């Protein structure tokens, strides 16, 4: 009988804690600037425009511009409350891919490349129409290494996915997470 009373007391206190936490969540989220996704978007910012990333690198990857643009749009849709609009969003992100380079990173004793590195560089132009002091123009760079015994064509798709993920996270954090 005593064991059952202890269990019941434990269950009731756990339920009370959960109810308090659930009641507090809307208050925490409505505080405005911070959210559970890690963003710090001002409460009066409602829209974002993400423009197509222009490709300006010398070495050509025909799908990279579209892949980068769509990945950034997806990130904003998943992690923010912002409505995406075609023009004149409260926030606007434009970008250009300025570098797409392969270089040897590890050389063997025979002076042969053992590993290569694919590096992608993107220049971002961020405009905050409500808070212009947050505007910036900044370059971001990410890379992925691969074995030199493989051709770039064989690994390019998976390397680009990895690089895009890194770049998108960096751009997202710089624009709306203030990290």
Beta strand residue intervals within the chain, DSSP E: 47-50, 54-55, 83-84, 91-107, 113-128, 136-147
Number of domains comprising the chain = 2
Domain range enclosing 26: 1-30
Of the pLDDT bands very low, low, confident and very high (cuts 50, 70, 90), residue 103 is very high
* 74: β partners: none
Other C-beta atoms lying within 10 Å of the C-beta of residue 109: 6
Note whether 70 and 6 are same-domain residues.
no
pLDDT confidence tier of residue 40, bands split at 50, 70 and 90: confident
- In this structure, are 11 and 79 located in the same domain? no
pTM listed for this prediction: 0.76
Residues 115, 81: contact at Cβ < 8 Å? no
Place of tokens 């959210």: 35
């Amino acid at each position: 009988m005593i064991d059952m009373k202890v269990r019941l007391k434990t269950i009731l206190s756990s339920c009370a804690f959960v109810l308090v936490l659930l009641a507090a969540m809307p208050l925490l989220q409505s505080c405005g600037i911070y959210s559970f996704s890690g963003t710090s978007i001002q409460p009066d910012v409602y829209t974002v425009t993400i423009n197509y990333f222009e490709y300006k690198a010398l070495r050509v990857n025909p799908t990279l511009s579209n892949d980068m643009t769509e990945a950034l749009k997806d990130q904003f849709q998943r992690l923010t409350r912002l409505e995406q609009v075609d023009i004149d969003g409260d926030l606007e992100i434009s970008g250009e891919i300025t570098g797409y380079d392969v270089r040897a990173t590890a050389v063997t004793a025979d002076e042969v490349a053992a590993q290569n590195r694919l590096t992608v560089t993107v220049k971002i132009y961020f405009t905050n129409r409500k808070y212009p002091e947050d505007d910036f123009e900044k370059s971001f760079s990410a890379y992925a290494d691969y074995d030199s015994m493989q051709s770039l064509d064989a690994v390019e798709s998976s390397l680009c996915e990895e690089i895009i993920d890194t770049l998108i996270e960096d751009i997202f954090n710089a624009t709306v997470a203030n990290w």
